[in-house]
Amino acid sequence: MAYVISDSCINCGACAGTCPVGAIAEGDSQYVIDAGSCIDCGSCADGCPVGAIAAE
């Protein structure tokens, strides 16, 4: 079960630097997580300053 980024994302990029497998990339209006690459570690959720990331 991959993590997902909600519409609460402020596009700051803090999460991208915390992902150990590089599954997070900048999308059109917010950052997105590649579900196929996500290893469900939760590092991104811990690094998000607005709590926009949660388990799917």
Report the CATH number that the domain containing residue 22 is assigned in CATH: 3.30.70.20
* Predicted model pTM: 0.90
Contact 31, 25 (CB under 8 A): yes
Confirm if 40 and 55 have CB atoms less than 8 A apart: yes
Residues 6+ apart with CB under 8 A from 54: 3, 4, 6, 45
What confidence tens digit (pLDDT) does each residue in 4-55 have? Answer: 999 999 999 999 999 999 999 999 999 999 999 999 999 999 999 999 999 9
Range of the structural domain that residue 46 is part of: 3-55
Rounded to a whole number, what is the largest CA-CA distance in the chain?
25
Into how many domains does the chain fold?
1
Q: Distance from CA of residue 13 to its chain's centroid?
A: 9
